Amino acid sequence: MDFAVVKGVSYALVHAPSLLVHMGTTQTVEREINPDSEYLNQFQKHLRSYPECVAYPANQVYIGNMTPAELAKVARPWYERPVSGASRYGKWGEVMPEDEFYGLMKIVDSFGLVVLEESFAKEIAAKMSESPIWADSDAARLGDGTPATELQATLDGGRAEPLYVGDRLVGCVKAAHERDRALTAHVMVENLATKASGVLALRHLINLNGLDAQEIDYIIECSEESCGDMNQRGGGNFAKAIGEMAGCSGATGSDVRGFCAAPAHAMVYAASLVQSGVFRNVVVVAGGATAKLGMNGRDHVKKGLPLLEDVLGAFAILVSANDGVSPVIRTDAVGRHTIGSGSSPQAVMTAIVLDPLERVGLKLTEVDKYSPEMQNPEITEPAGAGDVPKANFKMIAALAVKRGEIARTDIDSFVAEHGLPGFAPTQGHVPSGVPSIGYFRDEIMAGRMRRAQIIGKGSLFLGRMTNLFDGVSFLFEKNEGRTEEKAQAPQGGAVATESRDELRRIMAEPELSREMAEGLETGRFGRRPRVGLTVLGSEHGPEEMVTGAELAARAGGDVEVVLVGPVSPDDARSRGLDAVWAGDEASQHARMEELLDSGELDACVTMHYTFPIGVSTVGRVVTPGRGREMFIATTTGTSGTDRVENMMKNAVYGIAAAKACGVSRPSVGILNVDGARQV
């Protein structure tokens, strides 16, 4: 049986600055616990205008007016380099303004929960009637609106959420039940926003590809929200609700949930349903999540950036029977993170990237492009999560090094050749693999690419039901016009090869902490580990210590360096650091201990400090003679009371530190006289 193909895509964004203010989780929680906070007093000054949002290069890539390759050539920061003459509409969809989106929410509302003020409703009717997604029935569903006095009376009743455009009150969303917490006004705004943005994407998919909505057989919705009532909070069904508003009267459907990995799961389901012959045309669709608006706002405001997380992201993808032309989804090369795969980043990447390629006899270098979590680095880096796509590409490159496909010195060139710049909004599910499908489809159809791997990853522990990670991938490949069934390797069979077993053994490294993994896997970013550095006590002098701290902070951005000593916070900030004042060595060690005990520091580097027995250190150095890296364990501290036992423990500590830093098989030397032979 033929593989299924991707026949069409659509991608849409909704500029939602007022929803960010009133519905984003970061802002709503801050308003509850600290209503007078400096962040709440300042963050609205950092909101973008609609033209600024449209002209933002990453958004133009998302809707198809620019390619990721073109984005890679634009110097950052991108928000300071708007696209000249940027269009609201793109090859795959649009950036919808917030006022029209409220109109769309009213149109898709089936229970009379959305109330729009009458003058606003008239304005929106005129604007939306010019939209390519406007349907004949939309005018009646939009209605004439409600007088301002009635709107205010509804809000005064205390069971509705206001809708604003800037400072203007234009409507509200009512609760759907008096006592059901799953149907509160706040939840209904979330659900209606997901539904409306999903409808936006699906209507564009139908219009842009000349589809007959009646020919869509099945719809799979894969966003992060789930709708239901208090008796079945995630019962659904967004899929049929969205399909109803797009005219898909011949379709049925259901919702798929898997945190950030859900879209990749949904694509595999769709391909399987089509390839098996159960359905001919399946749409995978997802709306946006209002909770994610302004998620990293504190960090963006703190660093003087605009609030870039001001858009809801949506997409729709048509998966159909093989037409002999469109790129295929290879179900014989589906990667999966199993329950027993392990949760370290290396284990995850081996399971979902390497294993499926080995199964079909491909090398890592034979995949033209990879699309893992395509998070926009301008959003994630200020929040301490670094460049998430680049981190994933480097892990894939490291696998290629371990397999001998490339040299270690070729990692950066591998990333440049096989990677893409992140351009997707932080909507959790949206960045995970699927934003690149439209671009890859165009490149494959034009003959500029042969194959790509779409990678979805997620963190299931966010639901507090399991500590497991999640991941699934599939190959997206040029259609060879095949009409007969390809021989397929069984998905459940173990492919035991000596090289892969050796690779897994070499790569068996300690797991990352849950906080670090959460940021890497999902886009739900916690703060970076804060590592202190005491300034006084080194023979190199305080200025050299501060310079070293600057170099460490710039080296990768995965830690936040805090100076402890006679450095003013203002001086430290001018150099990109934080500082805690202490006037002498004794007081800096006292402050260090206080900060560690309180949790304000996660670790600290210090000199001339009396460690208790049981504590020892590993130093990472470069030898002055040959410039080779070395780990010295231990130069200070005492692991125990016995010299031989100490050296044994220190050897283990040094090996662990070296492996954590990427040295797979560190050699060990004993630099001591007493007890060295016994060790």
Give the helix/strand (H/E) hosting 565: strand 560-565
Residue (of 574, 62, 593) closest to 308 by Cα position: 62
Q: Hey, is 563 helix, strand or coil?
A: strand
Residue predicted with more confidence, 400 or 346: 400
Pairing mode, strands 369-371 and 311-320: unpaired
Q: Hey, is 668 helix, strand or coil?
A: coil
Q: How confident is the model at residue 261 (pLDDT cuts 50, 70, 90)?
A: very high
Q: How confident is the model at residue 527 (pLDDT cuts 50, 70, 90)?
A: low
pLDDT, residue 575, reads: 81
- Kindly tell me if the per-residue pLDDT of 493 is higher than 50: no
Report the C-alpha gap between 554 and 547 in whole angstroms: 11
Residue (of 263, 208, 272, 219) closest to 242 by Cα position: 219
Residue (of 298, 208, 221) closest to 256 by Cα position: 221
Q: How confident is the model at residue 674 (pLDDT cuts 50, 70, 90)?
A: confident
Q: Are the beta carbons of 452 and 371 closer than 8 angstroms?
A: yes
DSSP string, 228-243: -BTTBTT---HHHHHH
Report the C-alpha gap between 454 and 461 in whole angstroms: 23
Helix residue spans in 403-485 (DSSP H): 411-418, 437-445
Estimate to the nearest angstrom the gap between the alpha carbon of 6 and the chain centroid: 23
Residue (of 14, 18, 11, 80) closest to 294 by Cα position: 18
Q: How confident is the model at residue 662 (pLDDT cuts 50, 70, 90)?
A: confident
Ranking 222-226, 250-254, 507-511, 625-629 by mean pLDDT, the lowest is: 507-511
Give the helix/strand (H/E) hosting 173: strand 168-174
Pairing mode, strands 5-15 and 311-320: antiparallel
> What average pLDDT does the structure give for the chain?
90
- Output phi, psi for 460, to 5 deg: -70, -20
Pairing mode, strands 578-581 and 560-565: parallel
- Kindly tell me if the per-residue pLDDT of 618 is higher than 80: yes
Residue (of 116, 111, 83, 79) closest to 99 by Cα position: 116
pLDDT, one tens digit per residue, over 422-475 is 999 988 889 889 999 999 999 999 999 999 999 999 888 888 999 888 999 999
Ranking 180-189, 206-215, 342-351, 506-515 by mean pLDDT, the lowest is: 506-515
What percent of the chain stands above pLDDT 70?
92
pLDDT, residue 236, reads: 87
pLDDT, residue 387, reads: 94
Report the C-alpha gap between 635 and 650 in whole angstroms: 10
Q: How confident is the model at residue 503 (pLDDT cuts 50, 70, 90)?
A: very low
State the SS3 of 89-132.
Answer: ECCCCEEECHHHHHHHHHHHCCCCCEEEEHHHHHHHHHHHCCCC
pLDDT, one tens digit per residue, over 2-27 is 899 999 999 999 999 999 999 999 99
The arithmetic mean of pLDDT across residues 590-616, rounded, is 85
pLDDT, one tens digit per residue, over 114-148 is 999 999 999 999 999 999 999 989 999 999 999 99
Give the helix/strand (H/E) hosting 579: strand 578-581
**Torsion angle, alpha carbons of 579, 580, 583, 587, to 10:** -140
pLDDT, one tens digit per residue, over 211-221 is 999 999 999 99
Q: How many residues does the chain have?
A: 679
